[in-house]
Chains A and B, each alone.
Chain A
């Protein structure tokens, strides 16, 4: 009996020791959930950026939290949000309740991110959005701070500024066209996929273009998943448009660029074409996507600050391609979360929020400074403009994706002139030049 008691006591001690050891080991980790459409380029970008961040931090021993160094453990969640928003909310729920993550980065489609945001906020988990551009995500923070304060926008800047920046790109192209082709009145065809995010852009473009001295040649709204746009292209050519102002976030950006290139439509495409931001665009268009321009975040050789090249080159070395903007999960972890955790000395979400919203810090694509609304309420949205985050415009030139904007750009006459290192001049399609120089 005595022997048995001793054995039971010993077993209990060993179990307790093992339990405390496990707790100690697991307590040394910070679990970061990476959520995104993992079978698609966007989700792969989320994951790759986070992997790079975790490796970089863990190689240095982890994040300093008070007296201890804690390593990062990433947990992947496939949101499948392109196909099913419910899958996205389930994935978010699983990350929080099952995987018990401490922090979350990722998300892409606004419709899905809005739903995922609600779940993360209910559980008071910090969620840095790295994909969706809709302003509502951050307006919620101002409207109901106590509930939504755990959400921050990591990338891109919101769609209002996204549109604003495309008008700057349009102005730059129009200047080149006037100089090289001597076209007195430039005609612009507006082509926006039929999606909620693109709806407000049509009246904005209709209103702004005449003010910029340009004429609207027509508006076309193809389906986001259209695979044949030859009819639209025929109509655009007949309209005599010199510029095709695109708003594409879906797959239609590929057939549009490919078919326009194959048919040698005498107009340059600029605006937003998410597919044209990726290096796979060249294969997807069978090399017919030359001269297509799009708003973008990274390009080989384009430097925002001293952090850009180590990130871009490191990413290319590791994954063999230029990072897309969803890979800014890297910046969110390395420059956003890690220093904030160290500063707070804890993983307490409320303490981290108060630090994150006040910090101004450099990231590979510029400087993050979180905005407040007109009433001074926190938005947790990114500030746009010189000195903060502006993005770039890239163009496919002879099979290479190069940065073409900002090039001696001034946001207002009083603003400083901005030209990033590595920016090259805009090129007009040669068949267009040939036609208009005749």
Chain B
């Protein structure tokens, strides 16, 4: 019984982190068909921003969160305007450009902060025990943030004019344009939203991790696995996929402790298995439409 509780709680926590990252990535792909490899690099920038605000300037982590989200959103929108928008029609070129952007960001961070491992304090220190399992308050915050963001996005997309424009653009860019929607502006706003979510993820998750200039690579792989598993562009799929992979990782750690390092590989194998059965992923709506 204890083992089951351990697996459930660990799975929920890991899944929440992946969900936070994958939702933003999925959003911009769903709307603008931009595969933004630099998504987790923006998450890294947010993390370093919080480090500077809390550790160098000595301010409250909340200020760090606000600064990180604002900075990263602006940076994302500027990057979109300069690097992505001019080549948006060429998906392959966008992919390469975002890889280059991520590496540029990595090198900048590496030159400023060196390769030293750094960390930031938790927003809420301490832990509580649930059914014998110790859980950090910060992990609970991550779980709540994942649920909140999912709900907020649902409201935005379903209950606002902007959401309607985003959904219309996602369904058919040309028709949306003909209906008077400024498609380019919607794409840019969506990019801002997506990168802002990466910033928020960085703000929530960074106390649970360590900062170093390559910290964007590992979550990138898991995030891409999540979105492919859930179905490219599907927010619902990303959310569910994140928890599936989170539980898969927890299962490996608890059932095969000697193979704990394999947790990433097992999660990725599950993704491949699902794709063999359902090539479009769990909720691959756009693949269906393209056929």
Question: Which residues of A approach B to under 8 Å, CB–CB?
Answer: 37, 39-41, 44, 82-83, 193-194, 218-228, 230-235, 237-238, 251, 254-255, 258-259, 262-263, 275, 280, 283-286
- Give the docked Cα–Cα distance between A435 and B122 (Å): 26
Q: List 23 A-B contacts (CB under 8 A).
A: A40-B115, A40-B116, A41-B115, A221-B261, A222-B261, A226-B261, A227-B210, A228-B13, A230-B10, A230-B136, A235-B6, A235-B254, A235-B257, A254-B119, A255-B209, A258-B119, A263-B136, A280-B116, A280-B118, A284-B119, A284-B210, A285-B119, A286-B121
Give B222-256 interface residues, CB cut-off 8 Å to A: 249-250, 253-254
Given A220-B258, A222-B261, A255-B210: A231 and B6 within 8 A (CB)? yes
Contacts of B117 in A (CB 8 A): 251, 254, 275, 280, 284
**Other A-B pairs, 13, CB within 8 Å; known A37-B115, A275-B117:** A41-B115, A82-B115, A218-B257, A220-B258, A220-B260, A222-B261, A226-B261, A234-B133, A235-B6, A254-B117, A263-B127, A280-B116, A286-B119
Q: Are A232 and B134 in contact (CB under 8 A)?
A: no
> Roughly how many angstroms separate A232 CA and B262 CA in the complex, as a whole number?
13
Question: When the two chains form their complex, are residues A234 and B134 in contact, meaning their CB atoms are under 8 A apart?
Answer: yes
B55 in contact with A39 (CB, 8 Å): no
- Min CB distance A299 to B, Å, is 20
The B132-152 residues at the A interface (CB cut-off 8 A) are: 133-136, 139
| CB-based contact A230/B13 at 8 Å | yes
CB < 8 Å neighbour of B260 from A39, A44, A221, A262: A221
Number of A-B contacts (CB under 8 A): 109
Nearest Cβ distance between residue B117 and chain A, in whole angstroms?
5
* Interface pair A225/B218, CB less than 8 Å apart: yes
A-B pairs, top 10 by smallest CB distance, nearest first, are A194-B261, A40-B115, A227-B209, A231-B253, A231-B10, A223-B261, A39-B115, A263-B134, A220-B257, A284-B117
- Rounded to whole Å, the gap between the CB of B245 and the closest CB of chain A is 13
Provide the residues of chain B in CB contact with A233, threshold 8 Å: 134
B: interface residue count bin? 35 or more
Interchain nearest-CB distance for A92 vs B (Å): 20
- In the bound complex, do residue A234 and residue B121 qualify as a contact, i.e. CB atoms below 8 Å apart? no
Looking at the assembled complex, report how far the CB atom of A395 sits from the nearest CB atom of chain B, in whole angstroms: 20
Q: Interface of B with A (CB < 8 Å)?
A: 2, 6, 10, 13-14, 17, 55, 110-111, 114-122, 126-127, 133-136, 139, 207-210, 212, 214-215, 218, 249-250, 253-254, 257-261, 263-264
Q: How far is the CA of A83 from the CA of B263 in the complex (A)?
A: 22
**Nearest chain A residue, comparing its CB with the CB of B127:** A263
B260:A222 contact, CB within 8 angstroms: yes
List, in ascending order, chain A residues with CB within 8 A of B135's CB: 230
Q: How far is the CB of A252 from chain B (nearest CB, A)?
A: 9
A259 to B133: give the CA distance in the assembly, Å.
13
B202 → chain A closest CB, angstroms? 13
Shortest CB–CB separation between residue A5 and chain B, in angstroms? Answer: 56
Q: Complex formed: what's the CA distance from A225 to B210 in Å? A: 10
Q: How far is the CB of B150 from chain A (nearest CB, A)?
A: 21
**Distance (whole angstroms) from the CB of B106 to the closest CB of chain A:** 10
How distant is the Cα of A238 from the Cα of B2 in the complex, in angstroms? 9
Say how far B115's CB is from chain A's closest CB, in angstroms: 4
Q: With both chains docked as a complex, state the minimum distance between the C-beta of B64 and any C-beta of chain A, in angstroms.
A: 14
Residues of A within 8 A of B253 (CB): 231-232, 235
Complex Cα gap A259–B208 (Å): 8
Contacting residues, chain B, for A39 (C-beta < 8 A): 110-111, 114-115
Residues of chain B within 8 A of A83, CB atoms compared: 214
Which residues of chain A come closer than 8 Å to B118, judged between CB atoms? 280, 283-284
A220 to B114, CA, bound (A): 30
Q: How far, in angstroms, from A403 to B133 measured CA to CA in the complex?
A: 34
Pick the most buried of A82, A219, A238: most chain B CB atoms within 10 A of its CB: A238
- Find the A residue at minimum CB distance from B136: A262
**Measured between alpha carbons, how far is A241 from B189 in the docked complex, in Å?**
52
Could you tell me if A219 and B258 are in contact, using CB atoms closer than 8 angstroms?
Answer: yes
Q: Are B55 and A227 interface neighbours, CB within 8 A?
A: no
User: Which residues does chain A contribute within 8 Å of B264, judged by CB atoms?
Assistant: 223
